[in-house]
Copies of this chain bind each other. A is one copy, B any other.
């Protein structure tokens, strides 16, 4: 009784489960070249600009040619992320605290999403299940290894941190995106948003918000790193408290 293969088709290429042909004409293209061209497009103009014909155009061929190498655009997206996601940060070393390792892990992810802002424009299809994604999870688990946390708790907490990083990177990405679209600096966009708030938030309807604005909460110069560090510290404080209140 042969077990049915549980790997969904979109993931098969990422796991190297596509046997390559021995017969037929020599391919003029390759999956790698297609993926590289698609990544170049995404880096230049964002993921929405990645269309089959655009990628084909970069390679001086037609859209349909790509389908000889890639089953669908979704599969291409998976391969793009798999190729562009670098390796995770080094796993926790011997003398390192779980917290320091978790911070490195989170910063590494934040940096990746800063280098490849189009990542966050790819519609996420489900839980992580590609080799690189699992490698990141593995490194995350290494950070929490040796703590009193249950395995399921570790996974929950990694998901928590991952969600935070993604959300924070998304906000940062939207800002830089808006800035680029309007030909402004990020600071100008933020200032503009502050002005909009100042204009829309009337004290009678949103008194506390008004107070926050008047206290200058919208006038802080842009510093995504600092925002990120602040929120991450809160989350890790929470994890810390959880570990502390638990029998060894």
Interface residues of A (CB under 8 A from B): 6-8, 15, 124-127, 129, 134-135, 137-138, 141-142, 145, 150-157, 159-160, 163-164, 166-168, 170-171, 174, 178, 192-193, 195-197, 199-201, 205-209, 211-212, 215-217, 220, 227, 230-231, 233-242
Contacts and interface: CB of A to CB of B under 8 A. Distances in A.
Closest 7 CB pairs of A and B: A238-B238, A163-B167, A234-B238, A141-B208, A237-B238, A151-B212, A151-B215
Contacts of A7: 196, 199-200
Given A151-B217, A235-B235, A138 B241 contact: no
Contacts of A230: 153, 156
Contacts of A127: 171, 174, 193
**For chain A, what secondary structure do more than half of its interface residues adopt (helix, strand, loop), or is it mixed?**
helix
A141 B240 CA distance: 26
A234 B157 contact: yes
A229 B141 CA distance: 21
Nearest to A213: B151
A151 B234 contact: no
Nearest to A157: B234
B206 A138 contact: yes
B238 A6 contact: no
B6 A152 contact: no
B235 A134 contact: no
A95 B138 CA distance: 45
Nearest to A174: B126
24 contacts: A6-B195, A124-B174, A127-B171, A127-B174, A129-B200, A135-B206, A141-B209, A150-B215, A151-B217, A152-B212, A152-B217, A154-B212, A155-B212, A155-B217, A160-B235, A163-B168, A164-B167, A167-B167, A234-B235, A234-B238, A234-B239, A234-B242, A237-B242, A238-B239
